[in-house]
Chain A
Amino acid sequence: MESTIVKSVDYNAYFGDNHVVKNVNIEIPRNNVIAVMGPSGCGKTTFLRGINRMHELIPGATAKGKIMLNNEDVMEMHPIFVRLKIGMVFQRPNPFPNLSIYDNVIAGYKLNGIKLPKAEKDKIVEHSLTRVALWKEVKDSLTKKGSFLSGGQQQRLCIARAVAMEPEVLLFDEPTSALDPISTSTVEELFHELKKNYTLIIVTHNMQQAARVSDRTAFFYMGELVEYDNTKQMFTNPTDIRTQNYITGRFS
């Protein structure tokens, strides 16, 4: 039996009075890839940002309930500590434009004022970039600014930046929606690689992608978690009528 790494208990999220995520209970097993799907505006991003306490950065945003990481409530932890344990990759690649590729990878250390010996930093950079299949492409231009890379390379750089912090969980919010098909498939291959060491939670609108990369799929509808099951089960034999409708494209 796989152990649970992240669990939400009656999790609710609000923007002011707008109740956006409603009573979500979900258990996420370690070293799995979880796809989060659902129509636009159903609260996927909000839920995802709740997991590493990014939600509360928005003025007026509040949350109730528990998010357990290894049986500890992240709502009780310091957000900074939570975000070191749970990394995040955004929809649009957002490398730091003022930093070199090298410094972008170790940004989590460098900008947090954590001093490391040069050899250690070199090791982290090479290791992280290799993991995201970017090392070969950029190893000769590590001193160039991160914003010189292509969109797909930038996104992999952002993944490397998250990976470099050795988190336990990685959150992805539509990580490939701004990328071309080739970069997308590179990133998808990466998910297979990364799940050996991390647990991945991926919001995606792309059903083929969800089917290809995920072990389990969660379907959100109007802020509720409607269905959560093995991806294969979910795509071949969904139990809820709303999931069926969504998967067969009857609404979007």
Chain B
Amino acid sequence: MSNHVKYRIGKSTGFQALTIVLATSCVIPLVAILMYIIKAGITKINWNFLTNVEKPVGEIGGGIAHALMGSILVIFFASLIAIPIGILCGIFLSENKKSRLAYWSRLSVDILQGVPSIVIGIVAYIWLVKPFGYSAWSGSIALSIMMLPIIIRSTEETLKMLPDTLREAAFALGMPFHRVILKVIVPCGISGILSGVMLSVARIAGETAPLLFTAFGYQFFSTNMNKPMETLPHLIFKYAITPYKDWQDLAWGASCILLIWVLLLNILTKLITRRWKVQL
């Protein structure tokens, strides 16, 4: 074998090795963070932790029930707002690829995706909190704005991938537009749409900045959407910056819960994508 060829094989092998090393190295921070949080948090999680609410410093047995409930409610209502709007907007964009309105809404969605969450928080503060006061629903609205771009783009991309022949088959059977969309296009793209929804939920589950300005935080158990409400990320923020060991432990435990939550959502997304994927 000539030296030239050997040199090229060597170079190729070196390059392959490099990609493998780099690929592994980006797993390291993730694993490190996971290990650390689980180690620090898992021991703090027990029944009291999940069912009790905040206790004054020094009193043992404080829990995060109020924040868990708050996060579930705030995210539930955020989804209730963002999912229908996001999916409908995604359908519009995929059906009207070239219209002027589609161009502008696509552009706004892209820009919205890049807006820092704290800015969304401030805007929600000025528009909703100033006139109506701190409330859980203002937090839901702020979070729903963050969910929108993810749902819209994933819906649009999924539906665009569906072949035109599918649409034509439906129209040729005399189906009206809304039925073509609801009975054929959406069911065929449902796995992509749902995974976008799940990812958007996972994405906002840990958002703290917009909630600082809106849902604010609350030390009691509450399901009143018109009042301030505690949420997991805000609770972590609040406890983590205190000097008290008990509260810091609670923050670790809550971090661990939040992490498990996001992890479960991601696994669920994978399962849904696999289970509901329509073989074209």
Contact = CB atoms under 8 A, between A and B. Distances in A.
A96 interface: yes
A33 interface: no
A54 B175 CA distance: 12
Interface in B133-185: 163, 165-166, 168-176, 179, 183-184
B169 A83 contact: no
Nearest to A85: B174
Given A97-B188, A145-B279, A165 B171 contact: no
Interface in A39-91: 52, 54, 57, 59, 80-84, 87-88, 90
A147 interface: yes
B187 interface: yes
User: Which interface residue of B163, B179, B183 has the most chain A CB atoms within 10 A?
Assistant: B183
A214 B188 CA distance: 37
Contacts of A88: 172
> Considering residues B163, B171, B173, B183, which has the most beta carbons from chain A within 10 angstroms of its beta carbon?
B173
Interface residues of A, number: 29
The winner among A84, A87, A94 for most chain B CB atoms within 10 A is A94
29 contacts: A52-B172, A54-B171, A57-B171, A80-B174, A80-B175, A83-B172, A83-B174, A84-B173, A87-B172, A88-B172, A90-B165, A90-B168, A90-B169, A94-B165, A94-B168, A94-B169, A96-B184, A96-B188, A97-B188, A97-B279, A107-B173, A111-B175, A112-B173, A113-B179, A158-B169, A161-B169, A161-B173, A162-B172, A162-B173
Given A90-B165, A94-B165, A111-B175, 12 more contacts: A54-B168, A80-B176, A87-B172, A94-B169, A95-B169, A96-B166, A97-B188, A97-B278, A111-B170, A111-B173, A145-B279, A162-B172
Task: In the A-B complex, list the 5 residue pairs whose CB atoms are closest, starting with the nearest.
Answer: A83-B174, A88-B172, A84-B174, A94-B165, A108-B173
